[in-house]
Amino acid sequence: MEIGDVTHGLIIDQPWIDLILDGQKSWEMRATDTHRRGPIALIRKGSKQVCAVAELSASQGPLSQAQLSNTRVLHCIPPDIYRAPDYKWFHAWHLSEVIKLPTPVPYVHKNGSVIWAELDVNAKKTIASMLNQQMDFSTLEESNQPSIAANLLVPISRDGTVFCPEECARNGVYTVGDKGDEKRFTDFHEALAYLREMPIARWRRPNEKGNWGIVSAVDWID
């Protein structure tokens, strides 16, 4: 992350901003796609203050309700919200490398800034100074993420299915591997370790009709 390039902040409401800062949420759900990539500031809605910086690495969507169900571990939105008739936030903005600032940094909030806020010169300088005074980025990432974060890299399939405890255990058993050579584990981390050894990770999960089938990984995400 190039800290000198943090010029805009994403305004995020509660409780989502706290879940991101705590390392529990890495997808921020929005109503539209975004082409912005790279380092951004994270702003707690209503505070007019930057509380962290992060890397905006991708934008995915629109996602179906089935995909939202399969990826809940990433966006943390409960079903009663995303299944509501007026729900419209079907695009996932992928955030990584979240770094909390030692103290929130105020910025000049321009009228009309709802999703993005452009940072003023003083705010950008203060943020850069704070980050430069802290330890190197790799140490920061380790201290700001849960201790098991490195073990939570999980495979995701083309349809948005993520290998996760909430969706992929059938009667407490995870079924992973190629068709005809599948292995069964009762421990999630053992199943995940097996998937990491496969050339292409494959696992069973229920589709939106509740039928269990095999999906293949197209990427690994945190």
**Domains, the chain:** 3-145 (2.30.130.30), 153-221 (no CATH)
d(CA 205, CA 208): 10
**pLDDT per residue over 24-51, tens digit each?**
899 999 999 999 999 999 999 999 999 9
| CA distances, 104 to each of 21, 44, 99, 214 (Å) | 13, 9, 12, 46
Query: Do residues 53 and 8 make contact, with C-beta atoms less than 8 angstroms apart?
Result: no
Q: Average of pLDDT values for 159-164?
A: 86
E strand or H helix at 102, and its extent? strand 91-106
Distance between start and end Cα atoms, the chain: 17
Kindly report the number of other CB atoms within 10 A of residue 65's CB atom.
Answer: 13
**pLDDT per residue over 106-142, tens digit each?**
999 999 999 999 999 999 999 988 887 764 444 444 4
- Structure-token pair, residue 39: 């380092």
Asked whether the predicted pLDDT for residue 151 surpasses 50, the reply is no
Asked whether the predicted pLDDT for residue 152 surpasses 70, the reply is no
**pLDDT per residue over 174-216, tens digit each?**
899 998 888 998 888 889 989 999 989 999 998 877 788 999 9
Question: 3-class DSSP state for residue 158?
Answer: coil
